[in-house]
């Protein structure tokens, strides 16, 4: 197996162009498992760990540009206030060792429906930056996932960064697993309140062929909050509203039975997580915490 190890971003893109069948590797926490278990035997590995540009993050106004090689540990330590939903999800990933190596870019590259970065990125309205020697383009996150473990990147492209607006309101993340650490989620849910646009953002994980938003639930809730004047008053949420929101989130999912859980349990747990995350986020909003 050929091992290609560029040390600059320009070289990485040139290598990608020349070797579109090379398997990119950032933290290797998915790739090395697949190779060790002989699930994958790529002709070449494109090791991106030496490309420093990928591990930078920066802020331009209210947009955070997160390099594809930023690890979960750094998201937790450096971006907890800036990208709170993503940081909450990052805290639930694997173990300290996995969080030290694993990256948000790698989670996107794997595009597993169970990846924990996806719900908060969907709820936050992120964009994925894809680059090749031809140039750079951005894809809205909900258009990025194209099938089970499939994404919109072309063979000559690499994921360079994720662009996310820092929030104007509270964010929450919840994940169901068989225990607290080192588990792939049975189901997961991300929620973002966007009071500046009087809009709700959602992200469903592990309960459909791809991560997805609960679009109808989002518009139901934002209209109801508008009708009741709650965006302005920050008053208590009626129970009927949180319940209805949970049911509409559930209706947006299309899970399967598998070794981690049944479709019925996934649907039930999604409705519960949607209700709970809304209650938590609204308590923050009512208390003036963004
Ligand atoms: C023990 C263990 C526990 C885990 N727990 C969790 C968990 O709780 N939640 C969770 O979501 N995941 C979990 N994972 C999976 C994994 O850690 C994550 O998916 C992680 O985000 C992968 O990041 P990475 O940098 O290691 O990716 P890599 O393994 O390097 O790559 C993953 C995929 O992305 C592609 N890729 C990488 N970088 C790029 C790029 N720049 N451009 C294009 N494609 C690219 C690779 O080719 C590969 O297909 C776990 C894994 C292990 C081994």
Q: Is the CB of 29 under 6 A from ligand 1?
A: yes
Read off the pLDDT of residues 82-107 as tens digits, 9 standing for 90 and up.
Answer: 999 999 999 999 999 999 999 999 99
Can you list the domains of the chain with their CATH numbers? Answer: 1-54 (3.30.43.10), 171-286 (3.30.390.50)
Q: What is the mean pLDDT of the chain?
A: 97
Q: Is the CB of 94 under 6 A from ligand 1?
A: yes
Q: Which of 17, 28, 67, 109 to mutate to test the pocket of ligand 1 (most atoms within 8 A of CB)?
A: 109
* Cα–Cα distance for residue pair 67/78, rounded to 1 Å: 13
Q: Are 191 and 281 in contact (CB under 8 A)?
A: yes
* Secondary structure string (H, E, C) spanning the chain: CEEECCCCHHHHHHHHHHCCCCEEECCCCCHHHHHHCCCCCCCEEEECCCCHHHHCEEEECCEEEEECCCEHHHHHHHHCCCCHHHHHHHHCCCCHHHHHHCEHHHHHHHCCCCCCCHHHHHHCCCEEEEEECCEEEEEEHHHHEEECCEECCCCCCEEEEEEEECCCCCEEEEEECCCCCCCCCCEEEEEEEECCCCEEEEEEECCCCCCECCHHHHHHHHHHHHHCCHHHHCCCCCHHHHHHHHHHHHHHCCCCCECCECHHHHHHHHHHHHHHHHHHHHHHHHCCCC
Q: Is the CB of 182 under 6 A from ligand 1?
A: yes
Q: Tell which atom from ligand 1 comes closest to the C-alpha of 104.
A: 21
Read off the pLDDT of residues 127-160 as tens digits, 9 standing for 90 and up.
Answer: 999 999 999 999 999 999 999 999 999 999 999 9
Q: Give me the pLDDT at residue 187, please.
A: 97
User: Which residue's alpha carbon is at the smallest distance from atom 32 of ligand 1?
Assistant: 106
Give the HSE-up count for residue 188: Cα atoms under 13 Å, Cβ half-sphere.
Answer: 35
Q: Are 247 and 274 in contact (CB under 8 A)?
A: no
Q: Tell which atom from ligand 1 comes closest to the C-alpha of 32.
A: 29
What is the CA 11 to chain-centroid distance, rounded?
Answer: 28
Q: Are 116 and 110 in contact (CB under 8 A)?
A: no
Q: Give me the pLDDT at residue 288, please.
A: 84
* Cα–Cα distance for residue pair 225/169, rounded to 1 Å: 14
Q: Give me the pLDDT at residue 17, please.
A: 98
Read off the pLDDT of residues 200-232 as tens digits, 9 standing for 90 and up.
Answer: 999 999 999 999 999 999 999 999 999 999 999
- Reported as a pLDDT band with limits 50, 70 and 90, residue 181 is confident
Q: Is the CB of 28 under 6 A from ligand 1?
A: yes
* Cα–Cα distance for residue pair 97/178, rounded to 1 Å: 20
Q: Give me the pLDDT at residue 91, please.
A: 97
Q: Is the CB of 228 under 6 A from ligand 1?
A: no
Beta bridge partners of 140: 127
User: Ligand 1: distance of its center to the CA of 188 in Å?
Assistant: 17
> 0.75 cut: is pTM over it?
yes
Handedness of CA 216, 218, 219, 220 (dihedral sign): positive
Q: Tell which atom from ligand 1 comes closest to the C-alpha of 183.
A: 8
Q: Give me the pLDDT at residue 290, please.
A: 65
Task: Encode burial over 214-233: b for 16+ CB neighbours within 10 A, e otherwise.
Answer: beebbebbbebbeeeebeee
């Amino acid at each position: 197996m050929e091992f290609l190890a560029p040390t600059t971003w320009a070289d990485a893109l040139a290598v990608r162009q020349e070797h579109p069948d090379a398997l990119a590797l950032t933290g290797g926490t998915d790739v090395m498992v697949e190779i060790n278990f002989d699930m994958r035997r790529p002709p070449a590995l494109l090791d991106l760990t030496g490309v420093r540009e990928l591990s930078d993050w920066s802020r331009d106004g209210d947009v955070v540009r997160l390099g594809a090689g930023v690890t979960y540990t750094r998201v937790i330590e450096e971006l907890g206030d800036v990208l709170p939903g993503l940081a909450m999800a990052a805290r639930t990933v694997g173990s300290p060792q996995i969080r030290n190596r694993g990256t948000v870019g790698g989670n996107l590259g794997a595009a597993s429906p169970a990846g924990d970065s996806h719900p908060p990125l969907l709820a936050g309205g992120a964009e994925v930056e894809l680059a090749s020697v031809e140039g750079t383009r951005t894809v809205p996150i909900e258009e990025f996932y194209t099938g089970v473990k499939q994404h919109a990147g072309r063979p000559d492209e690499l994921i360079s960064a994720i662009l996310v607006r820092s929030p104007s309101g509270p964010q929450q993340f919840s994940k169901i697993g068989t225990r607290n650490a080192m588990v792939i989620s049975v189901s997961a849910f991300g929620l973002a309140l966007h009071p500046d646009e009087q809009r709700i953002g959602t992200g469903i994980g592990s309960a459909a062929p791809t991560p997805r938003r609960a679009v109808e639930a989002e518009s139901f809730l934002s209209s109801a909050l508008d009708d009741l004047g709650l965006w302005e008053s920050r008053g208590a949420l009626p129970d009927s509203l949180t319940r209805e929101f949970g049911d509409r989130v559930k209706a947006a999912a299309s899970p399967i039975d598998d070794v981690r859980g049944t479709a019925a349990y996934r649907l039930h747990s999604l409705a519960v997580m949607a209700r709970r995350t809304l209650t938590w986020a609204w308590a923050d909003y009512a208390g003036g915490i963004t």
